[in-house]
A = this chain, B = another copy of it.
Amino acid sequence: MKQWDTVAIVGVGLIGGSIGLGLRERGLARRVVGIGRRESTLKAARQAGAVTSTTLDLAKGVSNAELVVICTPVGRIVTDVRAASEACPQDCLITDAGSTKAEIVSALEGKSLGRARFIGSHPLAGSEKSGPTAAVGDLFLGKTVIVTPTRATRKQDYTALFAFWTDLGANVVSMSAAAHDRILAATSHLPHLAASALAAATPAADLEFAAGGWLDTTRIAAGDPELWQQIFLANQTHILSALGRYEKSLAALRRALERGDGKKLKELLLQAKRRRDALAS
């Protein structure tokens, strides 16, 4: 267990709030500073017990931090990392929780970050819910966190970041930012796109007959459009590749259905079932 003196969290929504709660419930940090742009969110984070203090002033909030975790939307992360790096103490470690990595890591890699150093993180935990009231201290328990060190990453920083996520209950996996973005396009970004298209394609008048299957399949379409628009743009190339594979899968099912080819339909459904059955629940 690594004990932190002061951890600053920029953005105390579901992810940032859950990090704060996790740190506090496990006694991993003496102080957790919540930084945000709306007093109402900061107040909710305080009331949830996710932070020990809050401020609207990022520079002030990170001024004593050993670790800064940027939990803002993908489109703001680079700006927030830079701002934090200019106000934090010498040798401060900065990480993030963004759903894309290559754009962020390449913008920050090898660049001057004042006295701080950055390693990218992406906890594969979340939900269609948002805000500090949805935060739970066990959000990362048993979940995977992908971290994306580069050649410039110092060993002691990687070790500290590894301990941070591990102490919150997560399994840490290390890979390149490019590998992260390719994989997440298939396992997270494409499913979001597919779920959104499905929700949008359902006639409003038919919704009252939507049952468990529709609800499961479209659940993530309830996610924040602003946040997901940023993720889509930041991982455009890989998502378009994954979408291409999906369109081929759909086209194969369409052809079999148009032909009334029951044997082929069953074969395609069986392949899909096997892929799904590889994972539980």
Where the two chains meet, the residues of A that have a C-beta atom closer than 8 Å to any C-beta of B are 124-127, 143-144, 146, 173, 183-184, 186-188, 190-204, 206-223, 225-226, 228-230, 232-233, 236, 239-240, 242-243, 245-250, 252-254, 257-258, 260, 262, 265-273, 275-279, 281
Contact (Cβ within 8 A) A276 B199: yes
Collect the chain B residues with CB atoms within 8 Å of residue A275's CB: 199-200, 202, 204, 207, 218, 221
Taking the nearest CB of chain B, how far is it from the CB of A245, in angstroms? 4
- Min CB distance, A57 to chain B, in Å? 29
Chain A contact surface mostly: helix
Per the bound structure, the CA–CA distance linking A200 and B278 in Å amounts to: 12
| Assembly CA distance A202 to B47 (angstroms) | 41
Are the C-beta atoms of B187 and A206 separated by less than 8 Å? Answer: yes
Residues of B within 8 A of A201 (CB): 186, 190, 242, 245-246, 248-249
A275 to chain B, nearest CB (A): 4
A217 engages B217 (CB within 8 Å): yes
